[in-house]
Amino acid sequence: MTDQPNFEQLYRELEEAVHRLETGDLTLDESLALFEQSVRIAEQCNGLLDQAELRVRQLTARPNGGLTADPFAG
């Protein structure tokens, strides 16, 4: 399975960046860099929200006792 960037991680990063922008003791250079970073993260988040398609896999027990998860046909 392809590993998408994790929305939750990005979202937390964004929250944290905005919080630091609002309260952090940053130099102007630092805050500009952080601001640009926030905008980039927000765009990534929006991209994920727009492009996502629900993926469904089904767990199957194997004879050896292991588990597999194969795409679920519906």
Partner 1 sequence: MPQTNVYTVLQITAYIKSLFTGDPLLADVWLSAEVSGFTQATSGHCYFTLKDASAVIKAVIWRTQAGRMTLPRNGEAVLAHGYISVYEQGGAYQFYVDHIEPAGAGRLWLEFERLRGRLEAEGLFAAERKRAIPPRPARLGVATSPTAAALRDILRTLAARWPLVEVILAPTPVQGEQAPPGIVAAIQALNRWSAEREPLDAIILARGGGSIEELWAFNDERVARAIVASATPIITGVGHETDFTIADFAADLRAATPTAAATLATPDRRDLAASLASLTNAAHRDMTDRLAAARERTAGLTRRLARLSPEARLASNRQRVDEMHRRAALAMASRLREVRERLTGQQLRLAALDPTAVLARGYAIVSLPNGAVVTSVGQVKPHDALHVRVADGAFDVTVDGR
69 binds partner 1 per the rule CB under 8 A? yes
Shortest Å distance, C-beta 59 to partner 1: 5
Torsion of CA 58, 74, 46, 22, to 10 degrees: -50
Q: Which amino acid is at 23?
A: T
How far is CA 41 from each of CA 5, 33, 72, rounded to the nearest angstrom? Answer: 11, 12, 31
47 binds partner 1 per the rule CB under 8 A? no
Binding mask 1-30 for partner 1 (x = CB under 8 A): x--x-xxx--x--xx-xx--xx-----x--
| Residue of the chain from 25, 53, 63, 64 that contacts partner 1 (CB under 8 A) | 53
